[in-house]
Chains A and B, each alone.
Chain A
Amino acid sequence: MTLKVEDLSVSFPTGPVLAGISLALERGEIVGLTGTSGAGKSLVAEALAGALPGDATRTGRITVDGALAPPHMVALAPQRLDALDPLAPVGRQIDRFARLAGRSADVPGALASVGLPATTARLYPHELSGGMARRVLLATALATGADWIVADEPTVGLDEAAAGRILSLLADLAASGRGVIVISHDLIGLARIASRVVILRQGRHVETAPAHAFDGLGSCLREDFSRALWQAQLAPDAPC
């Protein structure tokens, strides 16, 4: 199965913010999406999941094997940790998402698939570490049973080791037959797990580069902007 996004654009009453985003994704595959801060990365995630603010208008097509995708086809694991309800234990929250999708929840199963013990179900969000909360957010998206997941900045705020574990978890999720879109500013991490990476600049699609293009100084990248973005990651603390 192939998820296809064609010419996705989003505009607010104040003007357009995203234009001409296109990508294609197979089940079992990871596609990365990156760009500078404010490039509209999170907005892409919300547009794919159908979670845009009320005053936004979306144009473009999202199809699965040529058929128009129904709403909530793509499950979102949002960037903000406070997307977890502070007043409900983890288990009940996972259950809510399953029921929204009309399924009965397998809470221990959902927790196990993100590498958390079943006892996590009893904990409240404020009792979770950053890495655990990221995993729970992924579990809420998985609980809907969706074949397509978009994870918005799943490694932000985590130390290197924890971020690495989340990336391998995402790779495992893809390996189990889901199509995963990972949004991240961490191009090195994306290049490691994704097959292709979409690069955004100020709401516009710059290019879609194969993962192997992120190598050396990025000489295989087509656009200067992409190359600059990649080189900035290689030497983040270079003097200016």
Chain B
Amino acid sequence: MSAWLPALLAGRMIRLGWLLPLAAAGLFALISLAPIDPVQAYVGGRTSQIGPEQRDAIAAAWGLDRPAAERFASWLGQLARGDLGQSITFNAPVMQVIAARLPASMALVGLAFALSFVLGTLLGLAAGATRGRWPDRVIRTIAVVLAASPGFWVAILLVAVFAVGLGWLPACCATPPGQLASEVTPADSLRHMVLPVATLSVVGIAPLVLHTRQSLIAFLDSPAARHLSAHGASPLRLAFGPGLRHAAGVALTLHLASAGELFGGSVLAETVFAWPGLGQATVRAATGADAPLLMGIGLATLLFVFAGNLLADIAARLADPRLRRVA
């Protein structure tokens, strides 16, 4: 029965096999284009203390004096051994920086993923079941307005209202200032997550709501739904009964396939909330000319998007048995 899964996995692994090296080459080329001198970025304000010989020494230590092809080859060689190089801004191995900051980002992205899925699907179902009437119009308006709202603006407004105005929730960081991670209670951690998770959850919800609504309406208009309503099924009963699988299957597939966008959103959310995750590291790497870290993050997010797409393919087949036939 599940003969489709190995075939799907094999196909996707082959794709990863050519996508990953191509993307690595693309990323390397892109980052080598940058007109920013990493040595200058590293030296920063200490120009007076660091002479040209020391600069050359730093450049040589990072291998910047060698031609691009050679640097790429050695970077690939390192990569094959699981070594992503040394981050300039954090002064630590890239792998270590990513490993240290990934959990914080994943906590945000994971919670927001679950929350926005539940919220988006329910709103989409409610809108589809009441098509053309006021609940539908209200939900669609909210979705379209959210789609047009810059995520960081939503984050700032949430801070202005709930942190500054009402003083209910902390405005920044993952922990209260001055506390070690080990001293923080779970309740405190949770309080710090509320605003960032809320931001991430609502910002990307519009496509989910609209697609869920669309697929539910397609089902409600189908002969199958008409057959059921001929025997007394109401639209609401159809929506949250048989329609659930039609709409939620599509919604989950779409949501997994766009999980990467949640990470993109968390770059901005982490900037607003000073959240110590990978998104904040991305911004610091980009503004600090930290090429090794940027490339590491690029590859990590590539794998993240890839995993999301793979899970989306699996979800689509679980929801719709017609897709399981091995092509």
Chain A contacts to B: CB under 8 angstroms: 46, 49-51, 71-72, 75-76, 78, 80, 82-88, 96-97, 100-101, 124, 126, 137, 140, 144
Contact = CB atoms under 8 A, between A and B. Distances in A.
Contacts of A137: 227
Contacts of A80: 223
Binding site secondary structure of chain B: helix
B223 A82 contact: yes
Contacts of B228: 85, 96-97, 100
A124 B323 CA distance: 12
A135 to B, nearest CB: 15
Contacts of B227: 51, 76, 78, 83-84, 137, 140
Contact of B230 (A50, A88, A96, A124): A50
A88 B231 contact: no
A100 B232 contact: yes
A86 B322 contact: yes
A88 B319 CA distance: 10
Contact of B226 (A72, A75, A83, A86): A83
Nearest to A79: B223
11 contacts: A49-B230, A51-B227, A71-B232, A72-B230, A78-B226, A80-B223, A88-B242, A96-B228, A100-B232, A100-B233, A126-B321
Interface string B97-126: 000000000000000000000000000000
A124 B318 CA distance: 13
A87 B242 CA distance: 9
A142 B231 CA distance: 11
Nearest to B325: A126
B222 A82 contact: yes
B232 A72 contact: yes
B117 to A, nearest CB: 19
A126 B231 CA distance: 23
Nearest to A49: B230
Given A88-B242, A100-B228, A126 B322 contact: yes
A49 B233 CA distance: 13
Given A85-B242, A87-B246, A124-B321, A51 B224 contact: no
Contacts of B229: 51
Interface in B268-327: 319-322
Contact of A82 (B224, B242, B320): B224
B249 interface: yes
A87 B231 contact: no
B226 A87 contact: no
Contacts of A46: 230
Given A51-B226, A51-B227, A84-B224, 20 more contacts: A49-B230, A49-B231, A51-B229, A72-B231, A75-B231, A76-B230, A78-B223, A78-B226, A82-B222, A82-B223, A83-B227, A85-B228, A85-B242, A86-B224, A87-B319, A87-B320, A97-B228, A100-B231, A126-B322, A144-B231
- Find the residue from B222, B228, B229 having the highest chain A CB count within 10 A: B228
Nearest to A137: B227
A85 B218 CA distance: 12
Nearest to B245: A87
B241 interface: yes
Given A96-B241, A96-B242, A85 B224 contact: yes
B230 A87 contact: no
A54 to B, nearest CB: 10
A129 to B, nearest CB: 16
A83 B223 contact: yes
A84 B321 CA distance: 14
A140 B228 CA distance: 9
Contacts of B231: 49, 72, 75-76, 97, 100-101, 144
Interface string B224-268: 101111111100000001100110010000000000000000000
Q: Which of A46, A97, A100, A101 has the most CB of B within 10 A?
A: A100
A112 B224 CA distance: 22
B240 to A, nearest CB: 13
A110 to B, nearest CB: 14
4 shortest A-B CB distances, which residue pairs?
Answer: A51-B230, A83-B227, A83-B223, A85-B224
Interface string B6-48: 0000000000000000000000000000000000000000000
A179 B232 CA distance: 20
Contacts of A144: 231
A72 B226 CA distance: 13
A46 B224 CA distance: 14
B56 to A, nearest CB: 66
Interface centre among A51, A76, A87, A88 (most CB of B within 10 A): A87
